[in-house]
Amino acid sequence: DSGVTQTPKHLITATGQRVTLRCSPRSGDLSVYWYQQSLDQGLQFLIQYYNGEERAKGNILERFSAQQFPDLHSELNLSSLELGDSALYFCASSPRPNTGELFFGEGSRLTVL
Amino acid sequence: GEDVEQSLFLSVREGDSSVINCTYTDSSSTYLYWYKQEPGAGLQLLTYIFSNMDMKQDQRLTVLLNKKDKHLSLRIADTQTGDSAIYFCAEKELTGGGNKLTFGTGTQLKVEL
């Protein structure tokens, strides 16, 4: 158990819909990362927050947005969903903003039908 | 941008050594990482190496780094069935106040009895 909690574990929705994925980092970790894992594109970095502020941005679509709240949990919002958004979305956390030693949650599997 | 490549599959017999290879392109990478993903789970950090090192050993794991050829390898000694998983190498890119990891495609290790 990494200490990172993600909900929901599984989500099935239709194209055009909007979903919110939630992540609670390890106790004491200030940095949260979101990654997307799909068969065709592998693991792709989406975005990083540190203590509520955006610190790094990857290939995150404009239809996607994220935020980190004062209690350090984070949410990833995916809107106008397309079939290609079906993937496993991982949240990871770390105590510092510039370390590659990340602790990953078990992921939220999104299926868009 | 960075591109991290790995072979997709490796099959070994229990008790043999496994060698998983990785090539990366960003010569400025300071740290390189190996993560393990078991079925249905998130990624777990196994080990990492600083770019000014050639080798790092941690129990059954040995990491070799050839910076000239941008080649990284992970050797698992006395491979066990519990080592069956997908192994990802990753390089870290510092981006302003944060960082992102670029992961390889992953190598699926199958350990046979």
Residue A13, φ and ψ in degrees, nearest 5: -145, 180
List all residues 6 or more positions away from A80 whose beta carbon is below 8 Å from its beta carbon. A16, A18, A63
Residue A81, φ and ψ in degrees, nearest 5: -60, 145
Q: Does B11 touch chain A (CB under 8 A)?
A: no
Which residues of chain B lie closer than 8 angstroms to A55, CB-CB? 95-99
| Cα–Cα dist A74/A97, whole Å | 15
Distance from CA of B87 to the nearest CA of A (A): 12
Pick the residue of B26, B95, B101 with the most A CBs within 10 A to test the interface with A by mutation. Answer: B101
pLDDT digits (tens, 9 = 90+) for A6-42: 999 999 999 999 999 999 999 999 999 999 999 888 8
Q: Which residue of A has its CA nearest to B106?
A: A42
pLDDT digits (tens, 9 = 90+) for B52-103: 889 999 999 999 999 889 999 999 999 999 999 999 999 988 777 788 899 9
Taking 90 as the threshold, does the pLDDT of residue A53 lie above it? yes
Task: Decide if A31 and B103 are in contact by the 8 Å CB cutoff.
Answer: no
Name the least confident of A32-36, A48-52, A69-73, B2-6: B2-6
Per DSSP, what are the bridge partners of residue A54? A49
Rounded to 5°, angle at Cα A23 from A17 and A27:
170
Contact criterion met (CB below 8 Å) for B73 and B23: no
- Which among B44, B96, B105 has CB closest to A55? B96
Which residues of chain B lie closer than 8 angstroms to A31, CB-CB? 98
